[in-house]
Amino acid sequence: MVKDFLSLADFSGEEILAFLDLADELKAKQKKREPHRILEGKTLAMIFEKPSLRTRVTFHTGMFQLGGDSVLIETTLGARESVPDVARNLTRWVDGIMARTFRHTDVLQLAESATVPVINALTDKLHPCQILADAQALREHRGKDLSNVKLAFVGDGNNVFHSWAHFAAKVPVNLTLVCPEGYEPDVALVDAAQKTAAGRIEVTHDVAGGLKDADAVYTDVWASMGQEKETTEREHAFADYQVNDALMAHAKGDVLFMHCLPAHRGSEVTDSVMDSPQSIVFDQAENRLHAQKAVMAMLMK
Ligand code: CP
Ligand code: NVA
């Protein structure tokens, strides 16, 4: 297995499933309050260039439950010292580095210059930790074999969708992005994912067609962190892609609703969908803890 958790594209399907199985095991242990101090005495440095609720709390709590500790660094990378120098310092003190950055290349540079594992906790390009937690939740609700599951991702072809495409490239599942024109994902990334995918990976602008037979509908904010200036323009562009009761009616009757959160209620999703019995958004959020514990345990032990 590679040293770092930067992208799901760096792992085989078997390795991704091993993360998910370990996440299930650690979740069961945590529910029973069975000790699992796999990282006793170890420390994780957490670098944040962007805000966070879930990522920050789950990495900190995860390290505590694994018998270790974490230290928070809120900074702008490259401003006070170079990114490689930050990595060279941290590598002398801690056993792992988690980073949430704007530039994807900054996380790659940290990994190159650090001898300890680096975990990507969201960049402008990818959000791999989120997808492990999402897949864990989807398996809990639809069974471990996802090969007959259709996930319709409605909205922006963004970092979260990119990591879902990486997942679908390695683990059988059918993935459809339903997005407005001009908000498609990275073409090269999707092309590469399609080449190895066991299931289908599709991109469409057609809401009814894209949602047909969907087992799960996923959405994310229309303007990601760093795109706040585009909010008004994006609200117009995405207006027909709001996940509301009418949109959900195009999918299967027992369709699940998913969101990585934070949700902008009234924009990309209505309260009626977010608060419906079909919504598993807080299962996804809970699983950030268990999935990341699995990643840290496998990389840092
Ligand atoms: N989903 C997610 O990464 O949440 P935060 O931005 O709150 O960490
Ligand atoms: N696409 C969103 C995800 C937040 C967890 C963002 O990058 O802001």
Please report the pLDDT score of residue 294 as a whole number.
98
Catalytic residue (choose from 24, 162, 220, 292): 220
Are 106 and 83 within 8 A, CB to CB? Answer: yes
Longest dimension (CA), the chain: 55
Number of domains in the chain: 2
Please report the pLDDT score of residue 152 as a whole number.
98
Is residue 16 one of the residues assigned to a domain?
A: yes
Confidence category of residue 17, pLDDT binned at 50, 70, 90: very high
Ligand 2 neighbourhood includes 160 CB (under 6 angstroms)? yes
Q: Which pLDDT tens digit goes with each residue over 120-165?
A: 999 999 999 999 999 999 999 999 999 999 999 999 999 999 999 9
Ligand 2 neighbourhood includes 268 CB (under 6 angstroms)? no
Confidence category of residue 105, pLDDT binned at 50, 70, 90: very high
Q: Which pLDDT tens digit goes with each residue over 85-97?
A: 999 999 999 999 9
Alpha carbon distance 91, 43 (integer Å): 11
Is residue 2 one of the residues assigned to a domain?
A: no
Catalytic residue (choose from 250, 259, 288, 290): 288
Is 233 found in the same domain as 163? yes
Is 290 found in the same domain as 276? no
- Identify the burial level of 11 via C-beta atoms within 10 angstroms of its C-beta, where 0-12 means exposed, 13-18 middle and 19 or more buried: buried
Ligand 2 neighbourhood includes 159 CB (under 6 angstroms)? yes
CATH number of the domain residue 21 falls in: 3.40.50.1370
Is 294 found in the same domain as 252? no
**Sheet-wide strand order for 201-204:** 201-204, 174-178, 150-154, 216-219, 256-259
Is residue 3 one of the residues assigned to a domain?
A: no
109 is catalytic: no
Please report the pLDDT score of residue 56 as a whole number.
98
Between the CA of 233 and the centroid of ligand 2 the distance, in Å, is 18
**Mean local confidence (pLDDT), 5-26:** 98
Give the rounded distance of the alpha carbon of 183 from its chain centre.
Answer: 19
Is residue 177 one of the residues assigned to a domain?
A: yes
Q: What percent of the chain has pLDDT over 90?
A: 100
Is 141 found in the same domain as 41? no
Report which protein residue has its CA nearest ligand 1's atom 6: 52
Please report the pLDDT score of residue 54 as a whole number.
98
Please report the pLDDT score of residue 282 as a whole number.
98
Please report the pLDDT score of residue 164 as a whole number.
98
> In sequence order, what are the residues at sequence separation of 6 or more whose Cβ sits closer than 8 angstroms to the Cβ of residue 162?
125, 126, 127, 185, 186, 189
Ligand 2 neighbourhood includes 106 CB (under 6 angstroms)? no
88 is catalytic: no
Q: Which pLDDT tens digit goes with each residue over 233-284?
A: 999 999 999 999 999 999 999 999 999 999 999 999 999 999 999 999 999 9
Find the domain containing 25 and state its range: 8-127+285-300
92 is catalytic: no
For a mutational test of ligand 2's pocket, the pick from 55, 100, 164, 220, i.e. the residue with the most ligand atoms closer than 8 A to its C-beta, is: 220
Is residue 1 one of the residues assigned to a domain?
A: no
Alpha carbon distance 208, 211 (integer Å): 5
Is 292 found in the same domain as 273? no
Is 69 found in the same domain as 104? yes
Between the CA of 135 and the centroid of ligand 1 the distance, in Å, is 16
Catalytic residue (choose from 54, 60, 104, 127): 127
The residue with tokens 């996940």 is 243
Report which protein residue has its CA nearest ligand 1's atom 4: 54
Confidence category of residue 2, pLDDT binned at 50, 70, 90: very high
Between the CA of 123 and the centroid of ligand 2 the distance, in Å, is 9
Please report the pLDDT score of residue 180 as a whole number.
98
Is 231 found in the same domain as 296? no
Q: Which pLDDT tens digit goes with each residue over 178-225?
A: 999 999 999 999 999 999 998 999 999 999 999 999 999 999 999 999
Query: DSSP states of the chain as a string?
Result: --S-BS-GGGS-HHHHHHHHHHHHHHHHHHHTT----TTTT-EEEEEESS--SHHHHHHHHHHHHTT-EEEEEE--TTTSS-HHHHHHHHHHH-SEEEEE-SSHHHHHHHHHH-SS-EEE---SS--HHHHHHHHHHHHHHH-S--TT-EEEEES---HHHHHHHHHHHHS--EEEEE--TT----HHHHHHHHHH-SS-EEEES-HHHHHTT-SEEEE--SS-TT-GGGHHHHHHHTGGG-B-HHHHTTS-TT-EEEE-S---BTTTB-HHHHTSTTB-HHHHHHHHHHHHHHHHHHHH-
Is 94 found in the same domain as 214? no
Is 135 found in the same domain as 22? no
Is 31 found in the same domain as 152? no
Catalytic residue (choose from 106, 142, 260, 292): 260
Please report the pLDDT score of residue 14 as a whole number.
98
Is 269 found in the same domain as 206? yes
Is residue 46 one of the residues assigned to a domain?
A: yes
Is 149 found in the same domain as 192? yes
200 is catalytic: no
The model's pTM is 0.98
Written as six digits, the tokens of 204 are 């469409």
Please report the pLDDT score of residue 19 as a whole number.
98
Catalytic residue (choose from 54, 56, 60, 100): 100
Between the CA of 104 and the centroid of ligand 1 the distance, in Å, is 17
